[in-house]
Amino acid sequence: MANHGEWQFGIYFNGLVGQKPSLPMSYDALERAAEAAMSEEVWSYVAGGAGNEHTQRANVTAFERWGLMPRMLAGAAQRKLGVEIFGQQLPTPLMMAPVGVIGICEPEGHGDLTTARAAAATGVPMIASTLMQDPLEDVAAALGDTPGWFQLYPPNDRELTESLVRRAEAAGYQAIVITLDTLALGWRPRDLRIASFPQLTGLCLANYTSDPVFRSRLDAPPEEDPQAATGLWARIFGNQSLSWDDLAWFRSLTTLPILLKGICSPDDARRAVDAGMDGIYCSNHGGRQANGGLPAIDCLADVVDAAGDAPVIFDSGVRGGPDIVKALAMGARAVAVGRPYAYGLAVGGQEGIEHVLRSLLAETDLTMAVDGYPTIASLTRDALRPVR
Ligand SMILES: Cc1cc2nc3c(=O)[nH]c(=O)nc-3n(C[C@H](O)[C@H](O)[C@H](O)COP(=O)(O)O)c2cc1C
Ligand SMILES: O=C(O)C(=O)c1ccccc1
């Protein structure tokens, strides 16, 4: 396979016949275009974070405190970006993080299906959120040969939790990601200012309204009384009494690999592995949940060390190829992005997502080429130096 970076020559050659890319070529331009393309409510929800968004900004700027050491004549003419996770061979170390409102990041409201098609076209796995506009089965069917993982927000109803996990397994998802950092909703001033929370208008609840257990809890079907369905969702979503003791029960539900998302503490990573979890997902939810926290990248190395042989996925603040390379060098097995592909969808539909993913992969590949790291295995912490 050609190196991902060669994609840039396609763009330059198009320039020879007067064609310029119609989609943004930098993250800042992508963000501006997305703001223009989205409704005020969706923009606020996607772009915003917790409190004064200090942690959200710090997630991004913390990457600038690490520099990659360039190595010359390192035999990096061909790069190998493939990785293996839970016996799955992935063509690249990039993943799409679960974004619960991806369904409404395009005007037609089927953004989950569009994202799955972009995953199918690029080989970049989609981690499908519990919050979807289309049922998880339909989204799985659109993934083609690309693996999908299912992200679970465990409701405070065990029968419903079990139903969601079994449906995900039956639909062909290849891992379950249990998100632990959103058992309560963070303080989000942007959304508070405009008094907007999309799920409360009934958006992105298809996995609930299509679920037999959820439906059995309602007096009338959601099609007849959508408000009652939304009210039930609001009552069952939060699950603040979840504890480490519940992990054995989750483990008993499925033979699929389970990862815990929202882990930043090495002690929690150790505890997760001891409880039989298969992987760790180091993330602070893109700074959307708790403000005043550590940048997620500053937590990654300790989490990797504590996780032992268990693979660690990383997200929060990844905006370009060098960020991906740095997170891999810290020891992440794969690196995910959230807002970047949501903006790609808003700006250019499926093509927009593919454009964002291909740009990230090209820049990752070229960073490895220019800095002399031919394989992901060659990217160790020795490649990183603190910027003074
Ligand atoms: C609009 C939006 C919705 C999200 N919804 C979910 C979700 O449903 N489940 C989840 O585990 N994480 C969710 N996240 C968090 C992402 O999975 C990821 O941790 C975060 O976006 C990474 O940070 P980044 O946006 O800086 O790349 C959401 C993030 C955004 C921006
Ligand atoms: O907005 C989020 O980040 C998120 O993950 C979420 C999803 C559903 C309810 C509350 C928060």
Instruction: Give distance in angstroms: CA of 14 to centre of ligand 1.
Output: 35
Q: Can you give the pLDDT at residue 2?
A: 81
- Treating both helix axes as pointing N-terminal to C-terminal, what angle do 111-122 and 339-371 enclose, rounded to 10 degrees? 20
Q: What share of the chain is helix, strand, coil (3-state, %, to 5)?
A: 50, 10, 40
Q: Can you give the pLDDT at residue 236?
A: 97
Ligand closest to CA 360: 1
Report whether 370 contacts 363 (CB < 8 A). no
Range of the domain at 236: 26-371
Note if the pTM is more than 0.90. Answer: yes
Q: Can you give the pLDDT at residue 1?
A: 54
- Let me know if residue 149 belongs to a domain: yes
- Let me know if residue 134 belongs to a domain: yes
Instruction: Give distance in angstroms: CA of 18 to centre of ligand 2.
Output: 43
| For ligand 1, mutation pick of 99, 283, 335 (most atoms within 8 Å of CB) | 99
355 is in an annotated binding site: no
How far is Cα of residue 147 from the mean position of the Cα atoms in its chain?
14
305 is in an annotated binding site: no
317 is in an annotated binding site: yes
DSSP secondary structure string, 294-312? Answer: --THHHHHHHHHHHTTS-E
- Let me know if residue 178 belongs to a domain: yes
Ligand 1: lining residues by beta carbon, under 6 Å = 45-46, 59, 97-101, 129, 131, 151, 179, 261, 283, 285-286, 288, 315-318, 337-339
- Let me know if residue 174 belongs to a domain: yes
Ligand 2: lining residues by beta carbon, under 6 Å = 100, 131, 182, 185, 199, 285, 288
Alpha-carbon span 244 to 159, nearest angstrom: 19
Considering only CA atoms, which residue is closest to atom 4 of ligand 1?
99
Element of type H or E holding 360: helix 339-371
- Let me know if residue 173 belongs to a domain: yes
316 is in an annotated binding site: yes
Alpha-carbon span 355 to 280, nearest angstrom: 28
CATH number at residue 172: 3.20.20.70
**Residue from 4, 110, 285, 355 carrying the catalytic annotation:** 285
| For ligand 2, mutation pick of 99, 104, 131, 191 (most atoms within 8 Å of CB) | 131
- Treating both helix axes as pointing N-terminal to C-terminal, what angle do 266-274 and 297-307 enclose, rounded to 10 degrees? 30
Closest ligand 2 atom to the C-alpha of 204?
Answer: 8
Instruction: Give distance in angstroms: CA of 350 to centre of ligand 2.
Output: 23
365 is in an annotated binding site: no
Alpha-carbon span 297 to 312, nearest angstrom: 12
Active site residue 285: yes
Please list the pLDDT of the chain residue by residue as tens digits (388 residues).
Answer: 589 999 999 999 999 999 999 999 999 999 999 999 999 999 999 999 999 999 999 999 999 999 999 999 999 999 999 999 999 999 999 999 999 999 999 999 999 999 999 999 999 999 999 999 999 999 999 999 999 999 999 999 999 999 999 999 999 999 999 999 999 999 999 999 999 999 999 999 999 999 999 999 999 999 999 999 999 999 999 999 999 999 999 999 999 999 999 999 999 999 999 999 999 999 999 999 999 999 999 999 999 999 999 999 999 999 999 999 999 999 999 999 999 999 999 999 999 999 999 999 999 999 999 999 999 999 999 999 999 9
Domain count, the chain: 1
Instruction: Give distance in angstroms: CA of 313 to centre of ligand 2.
Output: 19
- Let me know if residue 224 belongs to a domain: yes
- Let me know if residue 21 belongs to a domain: no
Alpha-carbon span 293 to 59, nearest angstrom: 10
- Let me know if residue 307 belongs to a domain: yes
